[in-house]
Structure 1
Amino acid sequence: MSTREKTSEELLVEETVSTQNEIVLYNDDVNTFDHVIETLMYACDHTSMQAEQCSLIVHYKGKCTVKTGEYDDLKPRCSKLLEAGLSAEII
């Protein structure tokens, strides 16, 4: 009679925890759609379609997440939005 041994292995998985931050753009009654679209293309590297969709969401919903990522990448992008007169914050 043969004996079979079962070997159980413990697999240690190192989880990389990365905190994803977001730039949220808020609606205002000052900036035009064209200005918002151009600024999103410049500051967040959006395509014209992405920028247009975000501007419409901001207009109708009041706010929109326009970029997600690491804080160090988002900070200068958010600064560009603010310098252009848009209302945005990193959360």
Structure 2
Amino acid sequence: MSEIKTDTSIEELLKETLSNQHEIILFNDDVNTFDHVIECLIKYCEHSPLQAEQCSYIVHYNGKCSVKKGALKKLKPISQALVDQQLRAKII
């Protein structure tokens, strides 16, 4: 039998997978309106209107919600944009 060769090694796949294990957590506050939070989630996190509304309710009732997952490099500007809009967001 011949060995199957691929362009990507298992180590590279594992590294890529682990690098995508970050998420933006959005925290509740007493300042921003539901509409503002929803608009920001649609604009910056590319949520659908329904998804953004559901996340805003989760944040309101649970105090926080994961709103975006991915590579740290991709999440940093999104998180900063949310913070610039006066939302409380943190990458974990």
Q: Please list every run of 5 or more consecutive structure 2 residues that lacks an aligned counterpart in the other structure.
A: 4-8
> Which residue in 1 is equivalent to 2:10?
14
How many pairs were matched up? 81
| Structure 2 SS opposite 1:23 | strand
**Partner of 1:74 in structure 2?**
75
Instruction: Say which SS state the counterpart of residue 30 (structure 2) adopts.
Output: coil
Identical-residue share of aligned pairs (%): 56
- Provide the TM-score with structure 2 as the length reference: 0.82
More helix by share: 2
Q: Give the number of the structure whose alpha-carbon radius of gyration is greater.
A: 1
Q: Normalising by structure 1, report the TM-score.
A: 0.83
Equivalent runs, 1:1-91 vs 2, <5 Å: 14-15=10-11, 16-17=13-14, 18-19=17-18, 20-91=21-92
Q: Distance in 2 between matches of 1:14 and 1:78?
A: 30
Q: Which amino acid in the other structure matches residue 69 of structure 2?
A: T
Show structure 1 runs of 5+ residues with no match: 1-8
Moved over 3 A (4+): none
The two structures, once aligned, show a CA RMSD in angstroms of 1.5
